[in-house]
C-alpha cells in the first residue's frame, strides 16, 4: 500500500475538492498521478470541457516507495477521494486502472513560454459569467422540438470555442478553470489587504508546442491549440 503524505491538511482538502469536482462531471473519472521529490501532480479530464486539468500538491517528504523514487500511475478518482484523510493529510494510492486515451498523452514537462494578452482575473471571471448566461439564454429560447442534443452541442461549440481576446485560448479553458475552483477570487487578510500570491496571485498564459496552459495558483488547465494536429505531444510512461 502506497500512502502519500501531503504537506498539511489544507493540501489534502484542496486535493479532495478537486477530485470531487472531477467526479461531479464524470462518476467514473480517472486521474493520472505523478510524484517526484516533494511534488505531486494530479491530471484529470472533465469531459464536458475537453481540456486537461492539472492540480499540483506539496508532499510532506520526498516520495519514495521501496526502490522507486517516482510515482506514475492512473487510478480511479473516486477511490482516491475516498482514501483522502484531511486531518492526517494523507491519501492512499488505489490500484492502477486501465487509463483512458488522454492519460497516455500529457503536455510537455518544460519549454513553456509566457503568452501576452490575457485579461486580468476579474475580467476573465466576468467573461465566463457572460458566456454561461448567453448559453443558458440561447438554449432556453429554443422551441421544445429544437431542444435536441445536437442543437445544444452546436450552440455550446460555437460559444466555448471563442478565443479570449487575441490569446488563442478558448473560452472553455477559462470556464473549466472556474468550474474546477481554479479561478477563485483574491482573498483578503484581516487588515483588509489582498492575500499573498500563494493565496490568489495572478493568472498566467503559457505555450509549449501545440499546447496552451492557463495557470493559476490553484491549478492549471491545458488545451491543444486548434489546427496543430498531434504535434509536440509528451507520452509519459
Residues 208-222 pLDDT 10s: 999 999 999 999 999
Pick the closest to residue 170 from 182, 159, 186 (CA basis).
Answer: 159
Q: Cα–Cα distance between 97 and 197 in angstroms, integer?
A: 36
The full set of domain ranges for the chain reads 2-104, 113-224
* Residue partners of 227: CB distance under 8 A and separation at least 6: none
pLDDT band (50, 70, 90) for residue 201: low
pLDDT at 226: 63
Q: Cα–Cα distance between 163 and 54 in angstroms, integer?
A: 21
pLDDT at 165: 87
pLDDT at 196 over 90: no
C-alpha cell at 225: 491549440
Assign domain 2-104 to its CATH superfamily. Answer: DNA Polymerase III, subunit A, domain 2 (3.10.150.10)
Amino acid at each position: 500500500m502506497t500512502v502519500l503524505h501531503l504537506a498539511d491538511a489544507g493540501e489534502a482538502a484542496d486535493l479532495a475538492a478537486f477530485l470531487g469536482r472531477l467526479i461531479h462531471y464524470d462518476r467514473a473519472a480517472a486521474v493520472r498521478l505523478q510524484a517526484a521529490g516533494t511534488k505531486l501532480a494530479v491530471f484529470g479530464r472533465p469531459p464536458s470541457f475537453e481540456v486537461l486539468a492539472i492540480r499540483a500538491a506539496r508532499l510532506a517528504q520526498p516520495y519514495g516507495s521501496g526502490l522507486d523514487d517516482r510515482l506514475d500511475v492512473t487510478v480511479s478518482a473516486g477511490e482516491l477521494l475516498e482514501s483522502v484523510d484531511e486531518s492526517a493529510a494523507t491519501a492512499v494510492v488505489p490500484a492502477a486502472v486501465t487509463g483512458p486515451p488522454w492519460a497516455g498523452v500529457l503536455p510537455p514537462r518544460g519549454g513553456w513560454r509566457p503568452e501576452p494578452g490575457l485579461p486580468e482575473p476579474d475580467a476573465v471571471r466576468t467573461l465566463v459569467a457572460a458566456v454561461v448566461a448567453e448559453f443558458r439564454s440561447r438554449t432556453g429560447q429554443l422551441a421544445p422540438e429544437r431542444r435536441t442534443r445536437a442543437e445544444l452541442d452546436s450552440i455550446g461549440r460555437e460559444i466555448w470555442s471563442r478565443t479570449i481576446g487575441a490569446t488563442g485560448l478558448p473560452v472553455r479553458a477559462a470556464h473549466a478553470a472556474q468550474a474546477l475552483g481554479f479561478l477563485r477570487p483574491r482573498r483578503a487578510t484581516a487588515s483588509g489587504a489582498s492575500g499573498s500570491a500563494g493565496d490568489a496571485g495572478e493568472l498566467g498564459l503559457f505555450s509549449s508546442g501545440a499546447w496552451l496552459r492557463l495557470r493559476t495558483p490553484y491549478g492549471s488547465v491545458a488545451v491543444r491549440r486548434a489546427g496543430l494536429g498531434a504535434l509536440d505531444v509528451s507520452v509519459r510512461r
